[in-house]
A = this chain, B = another copy of it.
Amino acid sequence: MKKEYLLSPGPTPVPTDALLSMARPIFHHRTPQYQALFKEVNEGLKYVFQTNNDVLTFASSGTGAMEASVVNFLSPQDKALVVRGGKFGERFAEICEAYGVEVIAIDVQWGNPVDPELIERSLLENKGIKAVYTTLCETSTGVLNDIEAISKIVSRYDEAILVVDAISGLGADDLRTDDWKIDVVVSGSQKGLMIPPGLAFFSVSQKGWAHVDSARCPRFYFDLKSAKKAYDNNDTPWTPAISLVIALSESLKIIKKETLANIFLRHRRLADATRRAVEALGLELFAKAPSNAVTAVQVPQGIDGKNLVKLMRDKYGVTIAGGQGELKGKTFRIAHLGYMVEFDVIVAIAALEMALKDSGYGFSPGAGLVAAQEAFVK
């Protein structure tokens, strides 16, 4: 017998109530019933985003909302400052380039957070930067960027907005959209929000909205003004992914009950235990400033990283994530994100130990589990 465990940084496990809600007969979206549901969901999203701004919903994966964060604020030839410290920072740059936006890149060595000073310097050296793109948790490296410090800098520049990809970080790492004055926060459904992929979210500040009118990049499906007009009637301009919105209403109930403060504490607790366990196995953490969403670990010398992840999944039923982009085979990533508790960490570490043993890596079996358990019971 093999049981399946999903411990990847997206998709993440979906709570049973949210899963079952998707099995309910579907209903029409142009009805008071749907509008009431969507209104409730929108209030819940504001709570998670820690904002009074509108949080708009798209039927798309997170990349769609990343595209929305480019095309609605910029014009071709505009300058965008993009922090490239992993695959998702790179994606922002690719989207800008696809729309003819000039990318000024801050290339950060993968595994490191961006130094906010570099953003200040770039803004000073390159006049007319219209938007700064960075990630909260760069999922590909597990790095957490210091958004509070970055926002303190960018918010002093009237002409520049700050766009934060919080797709995997939202609900795991604290992100105070309003308090920190973040103009645009982008997220997705299949991470801390604990439902399947297919919805993307987008909060916009007043300063952000002021940029929309002058932005000349073409857009239609991801047009913010269409989205906002419908949003004001608790609706979307195009047919919403109804069953996912229903599931979201269930997961938001769970989130509100636990409270954001407790959710952040839980993620930190799980992250700490995971890291102690990994280090107790003699492995090295990859991220210099790790997010509480995911722990990226360097594959030890002589071990086949791809095979390690495959063994965990195919032999033991435990799905974690391998390295992404240039890190393929060089890192693996254990998520502690969303609908996860202490025992998910215990399972992850137990499976990791088993697969490491199979791979011929030398360590004392149970050492990781002991370290995790010590962290939990301390």
Contacts and interface: CB of A to CB of B under 8 A. Distances in A.
Interface of A: 4, 6, 8, 10-11, 13-14, 19-20, 22-31, 58-64, 67, 94-95, 98-100, 188, 190, 196-198, 217-223, 237-244, 313, 319, 321
- Residue among A223, A238, A313 with the highest chain B CB neighbour number at 10 A: A238
Nearest to A65: B221
Contacts of A188: 239
Contacts of A28: 6, 8, 11, 319, 321
A93 to B, nearest CB: 11
Contacts of A94: 220
How many chain copies?
Answer: 2
Contacts of A222: 221
Given A61-B240, A243-B243, 6 more contacts: A6-B25, A11-B242, A13-B26, A26-B190, A26-B196, A61-B239
Contacts of A6: 25-28
9 contacts: A6-B25, A8-B28, A13-B26, A28-B321, A61-B238, A64-B221, A98-B223, A190-B242, A197-B240
A197 B244 CA distance: 9
Contact of A221 (B22, B24, B63, B238): B63
A328 to B, nearest CB: 11
A172 B31 CA distance: 25
A239 B168 CA distance: 13
Contact of A60 (B10, B24, B64, B100): B64
B198 A59 contact: yes
A359 to B, nearest CB: 20
